[in-house]
Structure 1
Amino acid sequence: MSSLRTSRTRLVGAAATAVLAALSLTACDDGTGAQDEGAAATASASPSSGAPSSGTGSNSPDATDDSADSSNSTGATGATGSSASKPATDSTPPASKAPSSSGKPVTCEASNTKTVAALLNRPVNHMLLTVTNTGGRSCHLYGYPAVRFGEAQAVPPVIEESQPQAVVTLKPGESGYASVSLSATDGSGSNGHTVKSLAVYFRGPSGNESVGRGAHPALPAKGVHVDDSLKVTYWQQSMDDAISW
C-alpha cells in the first residue's frame, strides 16, 4: 500500500511538472507573455495619446501660421463673395427733359404767346413789341403786327423795307420783335394825341387775316403820344433788326 501511494504521488507530481513545463514552453515560443502584452498595449496607445509630440501642437509656429492663413483665406473669400453678390446700382439721377417742341408749328397768337410793349430811348418816339412763345410747340409770326391804339378804327401801315427774308419762327421760350414808330420826330405829323391802351393782333399765313386772340400789353400810366405818321415793322427774329428802322 505504501508503494502504491508513493507511485501515485510521484505520478501526480510528474504530471503537474509536465503541465507547467508545457505552459512555459508555449509562452516562450509565441513571445506573447504577460510582460510582452503590456508593452504591446502601451506601444499601440502611444500615437493617439502622444499627438502633441508630433510637432503640430497649439504652441507650434507652423500650427499658428496655418490657422492664421486659414482664417485670412476664409475672410477674403467671404468679402469677395459679398462684394461679388452685391448688385451694381446706378445713382445717377435722370436727366431733366427739355420742353417739347415736337409736332407741326402753329400760328403765334395771344393764347400761346406773351406780348410786352416798351418805350425806347433810341430811336426816339419808338416802341418795341416783344412776343415770347409760351406754348409747347413752335409757332410762326406771320407778316407784321396789326396794332390798334386807343379807339383807332384802322391799323397803321408797315415799313415795307423791313420785311425779313423768311417767316419768323419761335421755338418754345424764344422771342420775336417788331418796333412801332409812334410819331414824327420833326413834328411834321398831324392829328397828334395821347392814347392809353393798345391791342396787338396776329396775322395768318396769308398775311391779311387776323387769327386767334389779340394781346393787350400795358402802356405807361401817362399814355403815349401818337400821330398820323404811325408805322410798324415786320416781325423780326432779333431785337437789333427791329429797332434799326
Structure 2
Amino acid sequence: MRTFRTRTTVLAATTAALALALTACGGADDAGTKDKKAAASVSQVTPSTGATESGTGTTGGTGATETGTGTGTTGGNGTSGGDTSGAATSAAQTGAKKKNDGSTPACTANDVKISAVKQDGVPTTHITLTATNVSGRSCTLLQYPLIAFGDIQTAKDVPSVAKSKPGTPVVLSAGAPAYAAVRINNGGVDEENRAVTSFNVNLFAKDGPAEGSKVVKAPAGGIAVDDAAARTGYWTHELRNGADEF
C-alpha cells in the first residue's frame, strides 16, 4: 500500500507538473497571440498614421493657401503702388497746369542771361536771341524781347511779328532756355544799314515793360541793322519753322 501511495503520489505530482507546463505553454501561446494581434494592430495604425500624416500634408495645402494670400497681398501693394503713381502723375499734371495758368512770376532782367548768334546765310539777315533762366526758380518769359538798336532812351523798340506768338505762356524752369528770331535787315545793298556791336534787350512784366534791361553783345564782327526792316519774333521754347520765317 505504501508503494502504491508513493507511486500515486509521484504520478499526481507528475500530472500536476505537466498541467502547470501545459498552462504555461497555453499562457505563452495566448501571449504570442496577443503579441501578434498587437503587431497587426500596430501595422494597421501605421498606415492610418501615414494617412493622417498625408492628411497633415494638407498643411502643405495650407502653405499654398498662405502663398496665395501672400501673392494677393503683394498684388494689393502693387495696386496701391499704382494708385500712388497715378496720384503722383496727377500732382505733376496739376503742377504743370499751375505753371501755365499765369501763376508763375514773370522773368525779370536779373532772372535771365541773354546772348545773340548769327543765323545761317550770307549776308546775315537774322540773329537768334537765347534767354537762359539763371534765377534758380521757374519764371514766365512774357511776349517778345523789347529790343533797342541804339540809345535805350531814344531808340524805337523793334516791332514784333504776331504769327510767331506761341499758344501758351513760355514757362522756364531753372536753367532752361527760350529763343527769339530777330530780323536785322533784308539783305539788300541799298538798305540804310548801320553797324551795331551791342544793343539793349528789355522784358515784359504782367502790366507792361519790366524795369531794367540787358546789354547784349552782338555776334563776332558786329551786325548790320536796318531799323526800317528790323522785326522780332516772340519768345518760344524752340525756333519753329514757318512761324519764325519773316
Q: For this structure pair, what is the TM-score category when the shorter chain's length is used for normalisation? A: 0.5 to 0.7
1:232 maps onto 2:236 in alignment: no
What CA RMSD, in Å, does the superposition of the two structures yield over aligned residues?
A: 5.4
Structure 2: which amino acid aligns with 1:187?
V
Judge conservation of contact 1:235–1:242 (CA < 8 Å) in 2: no
| Matched residue, 2:57 | 73
Query: How far apart, CA to CA, are the structure 1 residues paired with 2:108 and 2:129?
Result: 14
Query: How far apart, CA to CA, are the structure 1 residues paired with 2:110 and 2:206?
Result: 17
Query: How far apart, CA to CA, are the structure 2 residues paired with 1:116 and 1:47?
Result: 111
Alpha carbons of structure 1 residues 181 and 198: separation in structure 2 relative to 1, 3 Å: same
TM superposition shift of 1:139: 1.4
- Identity, in percent, stands at 21
Higher share in helix = 2
Judge conservation of contact 1:162–1:233 (CA < 8 Å) in 2: no
When the two structures are superposed, what TM-score results if normalisation uses the length of structure 1? 0.56
Q: For 1:94-243, what aligned pairs fall within 5 Å after superposition?
A: 100-101=95-96, 102=98, 104-121=103-120, 124-131=124-131, 136-137=137-138, 139-142=140-143, 144-149=144-149, 153-159=153-159, 162=162, 169-172=169-172, 176-190=178-192, 192-195=194-197, 197-207=198-208, 209-211=209-211, 214-215=213-214, 219-229=218-228, 231-235=230-234, 237=236, 239-240=240-241, 243=244
Query: How far apart, CA to CA, are the structure 2 residues paired with 1:108 and 1:163?
Result: 23
Alpha carbons of structure 1 residues 194 and 234: separation in structure 2 relative to 1, 3 Å: closer
When the two structures are superposed, what TM-score results if normalisation uses the length of structure 2? 0.56
Unaligned runs of 5+ in 1: 1-8
Q: Aligned with 2:207: secondary structure?
A: coil
Structure 1: which amino acid aligns with 2:145?
P
Unaligned runs of 5+ in 2: none
TM superposition shift of 1:187: 3.5
Q: Aligned with 1:185: secondary structure?
A: coil
Judge conservation of contact 1:146–1:156 (CA < 8 Å) in 2: no
Residue correspondences, number? 218
